[in-house]
C-alpha cells in the first residue's frame, strides 16, 4: 500500500511539472530494423518494452528536441546518441521495443528502465560514466561497470552477476 502511495505521488508530481512548464508532450514514431544490442550515449531516459514486433521506437517529449537525438542501426546493433551535450532527462524519453535483447551499453549518464519484463535469455549490461539501469528479465543479467561506479540493487535475484572492471 505504501509503495502505491509513493508511486501515485510521483506520477502526480511529474504531471504537475509538465503542466506548469506549459509544454505539451509530443510523440514521434520511428521504425528501425530488429537488433540484439543497444548502445545509449546521451543523457536521456530510455524505456525498454519487450514486444513480439521489435524495432519500433517512440520519442516522447519536447518536439523541438527530437532532431537532437540520432539513431544508427548497424548489423544487429541500435545506437542512440545526442547530437549535443545536453541533459534530455525530463524533457525527452525514448521508448524502444525489443525482442531477445542480448547487450545494453550505457554511457554519459544514460538511464535505462524495462517497461515490462524482458524475455531475454541473457542480457549483458555495461554501465559507464554515471549511467543507471533498472532492468527486469526472465533470463540472466550480467552487469559490468567501471571501477568507480556505484551499484545499487533494490533486489538481487538469482541470475544476476556483477563484474567490476
Q: Where are the domains of the chain?
A: 24-164
Per the model's pLDDT, the better-predicted residue between 163 and 105 turns out to be 105
97 beta partners: 49
Per the model's pLDDT, the better-predicted residue between 12 and 149 turns out to be 149
Give the position of cell 541500435. 78
CATH 3.10.450.50 fits 24-164, yes or no: no
Note the pTM of the prediction, 2 decimals.
Answer: 0.80
Residue 6 pLDDT > 50, yes or no?
A: no
- What is the C-alpha separation between 89 and 83, in angstroms, rounded? 15
Mean pLDDT of 38-42: 97
pLDDT for the residue 149: 60
Task: Give the mean pLDDT of the chain.
Answer: 83
pLDDT for the residue 12: 40
Q: Within 10 Å of residue 94's Cβ, how many Cβ atoms?
A: 23
Residue 4 pLDDT > 80, yes or no?
A: no
pLDDT-derived band at 145 (thresholds 50, 70, 90) equals confident
Least trusted range by pLDDT, from 57-66, 102-111, 137-146: 137-146
Mean pLDDT of 160-165: 67
Amino acid at each position: 500500500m505504501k509503495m502505491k502511495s509513493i508511486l501515485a505521488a510521483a506520477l502526480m508530481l511529474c504531471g504537475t511539472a509538465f503542466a506548469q512548464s506549459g509544454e505539451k508532450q509530443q510523440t514521434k514514431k520511428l521504425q528501425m530494423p530488429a537488433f540484439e544490442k543497444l548502445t545509449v550515449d546521451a543523457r536521456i531516459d530510455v524505456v525498454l518494452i519487450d514486444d513480439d514486433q521489435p524495432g519500433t521506437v517512440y520519442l516522447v517529449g519536447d518536439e523541438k528536441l527530437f532532431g537532437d537525438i540520432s539513431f544508427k542501426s548497424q548489423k544487429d546493433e541500435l545506437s542512440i546518441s545526442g547530437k549535443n551535450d545536453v541533459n534530455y532527462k525530463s524533457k525527452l524519453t525514448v521508448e524502444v521495443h525489443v525482442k531477445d535483447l542480448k547487450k545494453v551499453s550505457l554511457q554519459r549518464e544514460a538511464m535505462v528502465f524495462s517497461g515490462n519484463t524482458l524475455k531475454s535469455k541473457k542480457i549483458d549490461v555495461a554501465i559507464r560514466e554515471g549511467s543507471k539501469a533498472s532492468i527486469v528479465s526472465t533470463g540472466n543479467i550480467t552487469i559490468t561497470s567501471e571501477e568507480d561506479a556505484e551499484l545499487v540493487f533494490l533486489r538481487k535475484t538469482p541470475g544476476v552477476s556483477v563484474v567490476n572492471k
